[in-house]
Amino acid sequence: VQCTFTKKQNLLLGVGIGLSSGFGVLLLSSITIVLVRRWKRDIQKQLRRNHFRKNQGLLLEQLISSDENASDKTKIFTLEELEKATNNFDATRILGRGGHGMVYKGILSNQHVVAIKRSKNIDEGEISQFINEVAILSQINHRNIVKLFGCCLETEVPLLVYDFVPNGSLYEILHSNSSSGCFLLSHVVTNVQGTFGYLDPEYYHTGQLNEKSDVYSFGVVLVELLLRREPIFTTESGSKENLANYFLSEIKVRPIKEIVAAQICEEATEEEIKSVASLTEMCLRLRGEERPTMKEVEMTLQLLRTKRSNSCHASPENDEDMQPL
C-alpha cells in the first residue's frame, strides 16, 4: 500500500513538474515573442525617425511652422497612415508604374481618396530643394492644378500625397497603345500642373499663378508631345533632369530634328516641327511678360492646323500618313 501511495505521489509530482515546466516554457515563449515584436517595432520606429531626419523633415516642419497658411495646407503623413490608406501598398491599389516608381490609390481615415506617389530614388543633394517645393506646391489651390496634400518622410525615398485624378498622365497616354490622334488634352489638363516639372518658375519668386503660368505649363505639354518624355525624366547617366530646361538648352546647340522623337519626324514636316518648337520656346520663357497669351498660342496652332488641312486636301494620297498629327 505504502509503495502504491509513493508511486501516486511521484506521479502527481511528475505531472506537476511537467505542467509547471510547460507553463514556464509557454510563458517564456510568450514573453520572448512580445519582446521580439517590441524590439522590431522599436527598430522600425528608429529607422523611420532616421529617414525623417535624413529627408529633411525638421526643415519641412520649420517651413510649415513659420508660415500660417502652410500649417493649414501642408500635412506630414506618417508611414502608418499611408499603409492603412493603401492596405499596406497592396498590388490591387496600384494606379500606374514606370521608370520613376509607382502610384497607389489610397483612402485616408476621413475617406478622402488620394494618389500616393512612391518614387524609386532621389539624390540626397536634391532633398532640400524637394522639401522647399513640397512646402510651396502644397499651398497652391488652382483649378488646373492637382492638389498636393503633403508627403511622408519616414521612408528611404519620400512619398508624395496628391488629390486623386482618374484620367492618368499625358506620358501614359502617349505611350499607351492608342494612336496619337485618339486623345484629347482636356483629359489631362487637370493632371498637368500639380507636379514639379510643370510649375511656372516665376511662382517661386511671386507666389502667384496667372494666365502666363498656364502658358508655361502648356509649353511643357508641347515639349512632352515633341520629345515623348516625362516632365522630369531620367538621363542616360541616371540623374533626373527637367524636360523644359533640357529642351531650351538643346535647341541652342542642335538642330530641332535631332531633339524631337523619331515618330514626330515621321508624322510632320520640318517646317511644322520648327513652328511648334518656336511656339514652345516662347511659352517656356522665364519672364511671364515675354510669353504669348493663350489666345495667341491657340491662333498659332489653328493656323498650323489649317495649313496642314489644306496640304492634305491638296495631296489626298498622303492624307492617311498625315492624319495622326
Cβ contact 273:264 at 8 Å: yes
Contact 267, 179 (CB under 8 A): no
Hey, is 180 helix, strand or coil? coil
**Distances from the Cα of 73 to the Cα of 22, 137, 146, 232, angstroms:** 57, 10, 14, 25
Instruction: List CB contacts of 36: < 8 A, sequence separation 6 or more.
Output: none
Residue recorded with cell 522639401: 131
CA distance 15 to 23: 12
For residue 111, give every residue at least 6 positions away whose Cβ sits within 8 Å of its Cβ, in sequence order, or none: none
Between CA 192 and CA 214 the distance in angstroms is 10
What's the 3-state SS for 247-293? HHHHCCCCCHHHHCCHHHHHHCCHHHHHHHHHHHHHHCCCCHHHCCC
Is residue 117 marked as binding? Answer: yes
Q: Which residues are annotated as a binding site?
A: 117
Binding residues for ATP: 117
